[in-house]
């Protein structure tokens, strides 16, 4: 009888211990999940810019584990630090994508999609010579990050992989940027000009190097080398040394000339080149011609620079960005570039001109929410001069 009581007592104690352990395990998991979510919202709120596929869970052995993938070392460090500060005992299995693997766009314009398939929505584009951070390179599509931080998938055939050493060499190489407002072509010799002599076309902002590192001009054409090693000859007058292009001061005329040069061009969702573009693509391409890198989407651009309220539109200056959308929620859905006297240029159906002045015959009723001034705000969050971007120099 005494043995039976001892056994029952031991069983009861074990059961209580098990319940306490289970409760402790449940509480620890909940705390870890809360920490991960808080870090997610604080460090990586925009999935377009930062990969944050991290979760807290109990593995098959019952160990509290925090694992997954992120594109930023700072996100991993924030999670580990916060968990330690909260006294959580855990196993870390967080993988950070490499920061020393690169790719470069090898065709005039490469389309980046929201998923690794051709049928996926187009998210953005990159142009020839644009450096890309290579996150994953398996399969037909590569996951990359553009110079404005945007993450998407690009066909592997559209880019060429570069090592960290090759990128350092490229940054120190003699490089030229296409400054022509209109598409130009490179040919296979200084004299050739036939349709079967074309090597590639080039758009505004394309970056090339020169064979042997020494510029050579024949028959008015510059001998150029493309990111994948192909060479050609293109009109030298349409190129500027990258240092000269990147050293530009803010110039609204450069920005607006680029935008107006595309007047009539069709709207293309995800387009960010002079071939065809969407509304925020027009802003990006126009500013890039002035050596300034803007954020990708209108909703992101709207949070940069100095805010100017819609009612104060008469104080706007050339080059300011105008944002339109839902007046009830404040949600931004469209962006335009201001010129003067209420007039602006934008991509809506096609690149065209309209006005925010209610008295103008070109006035549109789409709710004008607010504007931002980029001028004077270079090197503030979301606005980067190419000359100060570490991927370029």
Which sequence positions are flagged as catalytic? Answer: 279, 334, 346
- Give the CA-trace dihedral at 285, 352, 254, 292, to 10 degrees: -30
Share of the chain above pLDDT 90, in %: 93
> Is the confidence at residue 1, as pLDDT, over 60?
no
Please state the φ and ψ torsions of residue 388, each to the nearest 5 degrees: -110, 5
pLDDT (0 to 100) of residue 24: 62
pLDDT band at 138, cuts 50/70/90?
confident
Residues 241 and 273: beta-carbon distance below 8 Å: no
Residues 54 and 69: beta-carbon distance below 8 Å: yes
Q: What is the CB neighbour count within 10 angstroms for residue 191?
A: 11
The secondary structure of the chain, three-state, reads CHHHHHHHHHHHHHHHHHHHHHHHHHHHHHHHHHHHHHHHHHHCCCCCCCCEEEEEEECCCCCEEEEEEECCHHHHHHHHHHHHHCCCCCEEEEEECCCCCEEEECCCEEEEECCCCCCCCEEEEEECCCEEEEEECCCCEEEEECCCCCEEEEEHHHEEEECHHHHHHHHCCCEEEECCCCCEEEECCCCCCCHHHEEEEECCCCEEECHHHCCCEECCEEEEECCCCCEEEEEHHHEEEHHHHHCCCCCHHHHHHHHHHCCCCEECCCCEECCEECHHHHHHHHHHCCCEEECCCHHHHCCCCEEEEHHHHHHCCCCCEEEEECCCCCCEEEEEEECCCCEEEEEECEEEEEECCCCCCCECCCCEEEEEECCCCCCCCCEEEHHHCCCCC
- From residue 292, give the alpha-carbon distance in Å to each of 255, 282, 389: 10, 13, 10
pLDDT (0 to 100) of residue 5: 53
pLDDT (0 to 100) of residue 33: 95
Which of 211-219's residues contact partners 24+ apart within 8 Å by CB, and which partners? 213/173, 213/174, 214/174, 215/174, 215/176, 218/190, 219/190, 219/191
Q: What is the rounded distance in angstroms from the CA atom of residue 227 to the CA atom of residue 167? A: 11
- From residue 84, give the alpha-carbon distance in Å to each of 61, 68, 80, 321: 21, 18, 6, 44
Say what the pTM is: 0.90
pLDDT in tens, 215-264: 999 999 999 999 999 999 999 999 999 999 999 999 999 999 999 999 99
pLDDT band at 25, cuts 50/70/90?
confident
Average pLDDT score over residue span 89-99? 96
pLDDT in tens, 316-362: 999 999 999 999 999 999 999 999 999 999 999 999 999 999 999 99
- CB-count exposure of residue 69 (10 Å: 0-12, 13-18, 19+): middle
Residues 225 and 209: beta-carbon distance below 8 Å: yes
CA 30 to the chain's CA centroid: 34
pLDDT (0 to 100) of residue 261: 98
Q: What is the rounded distance in angstroms from the CA atom of residue 117 to the CA atom of residue 153? A: 8
Q: What is the rounded distance in angstroms from the CA atom of residue 335 to the CA atom of residue 337? A: 7
């Amino acid at each position: 009888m005494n043995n039976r009581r001892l056994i029952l007592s031991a069983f009861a104690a074990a059961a209580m211990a098990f319940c306490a352990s289970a409760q402790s395990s449940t509480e620890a998991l909940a705390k870890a999940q809360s920490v991960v979510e808080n870090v997610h919202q604080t460090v990586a709120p925009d999935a377009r810019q930062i990969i944050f596929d991290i979760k807290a869970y109990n593995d098959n052995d019952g160990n509290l584990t925090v694992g997954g993938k992120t594109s930023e070392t700072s996100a991993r460090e924030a999670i580990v630090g916060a968990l330690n500060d909260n006294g959580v005992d855990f196993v870390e299995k967080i993988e950070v994508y490499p920061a020393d693997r690169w790719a470069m766009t090898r065709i005039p314009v490469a389309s980046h999609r929201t998923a690794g398939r051709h049928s996926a929505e187009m998210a953005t584009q990159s142009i020839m010579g644009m450096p890309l951070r290579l996150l994953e390179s398996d399969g037909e599509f590569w996951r990359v990050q553009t110079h404005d931080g945007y993450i998407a998938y690009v066909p592997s055939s559209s880019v060429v992989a570069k090592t960290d050493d090759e990128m350092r060499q490229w940054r120190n190489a003699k490089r030229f940027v296409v400054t022509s407002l209109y598409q130009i072509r490179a040919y296979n010799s200084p004299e050739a000009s036939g349709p079967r002599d074309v090597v590639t076309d080039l758009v505004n902002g394309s970056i090339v190097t020169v064979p042997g590192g020494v510029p050579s001009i024949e028959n008015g054409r510059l001998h150029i080398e493309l990111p994948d090693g192909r060479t050609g000859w293109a009109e030298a007058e349409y190129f500027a040394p990258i240092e000269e292009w990147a050293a530009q001061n803010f110039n609204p005329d450069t920005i607006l000339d680029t935008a107006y040069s595309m007047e009539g061009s069709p709207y293309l969702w995800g387009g960010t080149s002079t071939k065809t573009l969407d509304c925020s693509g027009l802003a990006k391409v126009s500013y890039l011609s002035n050596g300034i890198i803007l954020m990708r989407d209108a909703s992101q651009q709207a949070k940069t620079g100095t805010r100017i309220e819609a009612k104060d539109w008469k104080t706007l200056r050339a080059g300011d960005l105008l944002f339109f959308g839902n007046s009830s929620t404040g949600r931004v859905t469209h962006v335009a570039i201001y010129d003067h006297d209420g007039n602006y240029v934008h991509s809506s159906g096609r690149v065209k001109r309209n006005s925010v002045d209610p008295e103008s015959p070109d006035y549109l009723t789409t709710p004008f929410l607010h504007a931002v001034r980029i001028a004077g705000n270079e090197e503030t969050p979301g606005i980067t001069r190419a000359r100060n971007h570490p991927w370029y120099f």
